[in-house]
Structure 1
Amino acid sequence: MKLLIAVTHLLGTGHLSRALALAEAFSARGWRVDVASGGRPAPHLETGNATLHQLPPLASDGADFATLLGTDGRPADAGLFAARQAMLTGLLDSRQPDVLITELFPFGRRALATEFDALLERARGLPQPPLTLASVRDILAPPSKPKRVAETEQRLLRFYDGVLVHSDPALIPLEDSWPLTPAMKPLLRYTGFVVPPPPVPDDGTDGQGEILVTAGGGPVGRPVFEAAALCAASAALPQRWRLLVAKGDAALADRLRVLAPPDRLLVEPVRPDFRALLGRAAASLGRCGYNTALDCLTAGVPSVFCPFEDGKEVEQTIRATILARQPGIATLREADLTPDSLAKALQSVLGARIPPLSPNALAGATRSVEIVEALLTEKTS
């Protein structure tokens, strides 16, 4: 069986990370998987057995998802969008997949509606149209206008056979963030959370008892990293701090290193063994994106989440507020972020035990394959 996943990450890499985790689960069941990635390359992510096809990359202008930038940092032109669309539809034609999954669209990525609509129309016109599914995380950015809900419903009814919701409805149902219509609800298929396989146990000691900080690249992560470095310098907490900064932010890393002595603060590029480090940490500090939050919950590490709130972003704030109801988790608004407030937030969670999620809640990738195979059998029978 053949699967094509179309995904474009614009700010962080969470959407691509989740798509690759899905791809690996399908590959493990013998599927041939192609992933069309339209965001900037993310070499720190493992592609596994899937074939990754890099479209001409786009990125958002900070939290402005309506303005998309090319590799030169300038607004993308018509030629770039045309090249992406041609590559995407060409990949569909050459692969003739049994299943097509669009990550986030049509609930989001409206700035890319032209290329997604072209892909969906082409898929619908194939001699054997694929089973077509949307894939969404636990929390969506609420629609800015009522007509967005109607547009989403129209696309779902025209093109889609279902919606994979990567959440546990007992913890975070989709209607907590998105106004579902009666026509949408029958399409939903809750899978549980999609997380990568647990890290291979090792006898390493890197990160043991430290405060581990990851917060994304560029302006998204800078406020968190700077507050963490200043908190490390204050010695308000006895632990050493380890800051994992995006490889493209070398200048920021250099500025952070001089804020505290090396026995208090270690600054290094993002590492592929991040989750192993997390399992050995005394506490974690970071934003509250889908993957970061689940990594922390899976590791059972006490965590302080500082949700990203620029622009109209509310997804991380909603998630952090829900998760902070559990022991061992605190949330700290960026407007309130200072070295002192950060130290107090960490003191409130250090040593706490986070209740583990059930195995079923964390089996979203495997469950997605089971759901898709059942839908495919139903469609072809």
Structure 2
Amino acid sequence: MTSFPTSPDAGRVLFYVQHLYGIGHLKRAAAIACAMAREGLAVTVAHGGAPVPGLVWPGVDLVQLPSAAIRGGDFSQLIDETGRNADEAWRARRAGALADLAERVRPDAVLFELFPFGRRQFRFELLPLIEALRARDPRPAILSSVRDILVRSPKPGREREAADLVTEAFDEVLVHGDPAFVPFEASFGEAGRIEGKLRYTGYVSSDLSALDASPVEDDPAGPGAGEIVVSAGGGAAGGPLWQGLLAARPLTEARRLPWRLIAGPRLPEPAYADLVASAEAAAAEPGSGPVIVERFRSDFPAVLRRAALSISQGGYNTTIDLLATGVPAIVVPIGEEEETEQTERAKRLAERFYLKLFPEAELADPAAFAAAIDAALADGPRRRAMPPAAFALKGAATSAAIVAEHVRRVRGG
């Protein structure tokens, strides 16, 4: 991946990115940020989560804020970079660091990842920043970057609150999806109120190599070739998938093939060690192919492109990589009750025969999972013969062009 030089008078963009649980938001943001750099913009990313090894940001000034995280899946309490509960002193330090960064960058456009449709825990720093931006002359463009399907809030009034803030303070909402597949109103009930500010970009692929002027030719014999590739996104919620997989694999005909398990950077170290030990034991069984375990692949789309079959959870980035590569796939959406977006997206794609959907609750039946794996592998030729997905898949480049358009407007161009 090459870097993209910018001129001294390039338009300046500040991109606020905060990940807490998985890394999907971060990977999508990295693709958009790199596309903006490719567009010739000077991009500064205010990164509020813990660093993720292996994730690259070519051409981007990545500034680490005092990092915030959560324990497990509990979003009610932030923890700071030391592992302690975030207190008011930490919030003041963090808000000050973000405000100082915005003052230094003096952006022509500011892009907020997910806010105000999520990230409510960070209103302590975001609302003051937005007010400061609105008071500037010239006023920078204020934009939101959001995926196609939101997780619906169970609390009344949250959608109205988000729509109120968009109406009051935001220029546009960049929806990284295609309304021909799923319109924003399918998961956001107040979409009608902000319809004039919604801008669909198409889906954003995490394949950064697509931004290169001269992409490196793919090696068809590289990692993933002829393999069963199993992935669990960031890894934090991968436990049920790994347990079900290890129970089902010995029952499959596909066990004779090589398998590659990509655990994710957020799988706890003890669980990762257990997965490695279980994979070694599985590979030692008579009639078994090799089993490779890895934490992360920066070339994940290329690995998928070569694979015989993908088995994965249903996060945004993985799903778009499945569509872009055309690999035969089984998707096992996260089964947590509040995590509805993975299941909704996977159902829509399964209805169009792009993938096979296997509910997480059914992982308790190893024989059923094994049968689904073998059936999906046998169905591979049909899937590969399908025409490319008819959805817009150039979302990173389109997002960059939209932001550049706002920068020109702010600069009077």
- Under a length normalisation based on structure 2, what TM-score does the superposition of the two structures give? 0.86
Summarize deviations over 1:286-342 as a string: whole Å, max 9, x none: 111110101111111111111113252211111111111122411122111143222
2:396 partner amino acid: A
CA distance in 2, matches of 1:107, 1:149: 7
CA contact (8 A) 2:229 2:311 kept: yes
Q: Equivalent of 1:324, from 350, 360, 370?
A: 350
2:33 matches 1:15: no
**What's the counterpart of residue 364 of structure 1?**
395
**Change over 3 Å in CA distance of 1:181–1:138 after alignment to 2:** closer
**What's the counterpart of residue 188 of structure 2?**
178
2:245 matches 1:228: yes
**What's the counterpart of residue 255 of structure 1?**
274
CA distance in 2, matches of 1:342, 1:119: 49
Give unpaired runs (5+ residues) of structure 2: 1-10
Summarize deviations over 1:113-152 as a string: whole Å, max 9, x none: 1211121111112232211100100111113233112211
Summarize deviations over 1:236-279 as a string: whole Å, max 9, x none: 42322210123564432332233312534221221222221111
**Most deviating of 195-204 and 332-341:** 195-204
2:265 matches 1:239: no
- The correspondence of residues 209-358 of structure 1 with structure 2, limited to 5 A, is 209-217=226-234, 219-237=236-254, 238-247=256-265, 249-259=268-278, 260-261=282-283, 263-310=289-336, 312-338=338-364, 339-350=366-377, 351=380, 352-353=382-383, 354-358=386-390
- Under a length normalisation based on structure 1, what TM-score does the superposition of the two structures give? 0.93
Task: After the TM superposition, list the runs of 4 or more consecutive aligned residues in structure 1 that deviate by more than 6 angstroms.
Answer: none
SS for the counterpart of 2:248 is helix
**What's the counterpart of residue 217 of structure 2?**
201
CA contact (8 A) 2:203 2:396 kept: yes
State percent identity of aligned pairs: 39
1:233 partner amino acid: P
CA contact (8 A) 1:210 1:281 kept: yes
**Relative contact order: is structure 1 or structure 2 higher (C-alpha 8 Å, sep ≥ 6)?**
2
2:176 matches 1:166: yes
CA contact (8 A) 1:143 1:178 kept: no
CA distance in 2, matches of 1:293, 1:175: 20
**Most deviating of 240-249 and 282-291:** 240-249
**Change over 3 Å in CA distance of 1:308–1:251 after alignment to 2:** same
1:337 partner amino acid: L
CA distance in 2, matches of 1:309, 1:184: 31
SS for the counterpart of 1:4 is strand
CA contact (8 A) 1:233 1:264 kept: no
- The correspondence of residues 111-122 of structure 1 with structure 2, limited to 5 A, is 111-122=121-132
CA distance in 1, matches of 2:319, 2:362: 20
**Change over 3 Å in CA distance of 1:131–1:144 after alignment to 2:** same
**What's the counterpart of residue 58 of structure 1?**
68
CA distance in 1, matches of 2:351, 2:387: 11
Give unpaired runs (5+ residues) of structure 1: none
CA distance in 2, matches of 1:266, 1:118: 48
CA distance in 2, matches of 1:225, 1:32: 41
**Most deviating of 98-107 and 209-218:** 209-218
**Most deviating of 266-275 and 92-101:** 266-275
CA distance in 2, matches of 1:146, 1:355: 42
CA distance in 2, matches of 1:372, 1:205: 36
C-alpha RMSD over aligned residues: 2.0
Using the TM superposition, give the Cα deviation of residue 370 of structure 1 relative to its aligned residue in structure 2, in angstroms. Answer: 2.4
CA distance in 2, matches of 1:72, 1:369: 35
CA distance in 1, matches of 2:186, 2:17: 24
Q: Equivalent of 1:142, from 130, 145, 152?
A: 152
CA distance in 1, matches of 2:315, 2:234: 13
Number of residues paired by the alignment?
380
SS for the counterpart of 1:139 is coil
Summarize deviations over 1:74-131 as a string: whole Å, max 9, x none: 4322222222211111111111100000000001111111211121111112232211
CA contact (8 A) 1:232 1:264 kept: no
Using the TM superposition, give the Cα deviation of residue 376 of structure 1 relative to its aligned residue in structure 2, in angstroms. Answer: 4.3
**Most deviating of 100-109 and 112-121:** 112-121
**Change over 3 Å in CA distance of 1:311–1:113 after alignment to 2:** farther
**Most deviating of 326-335 and 281-290:** 326-335
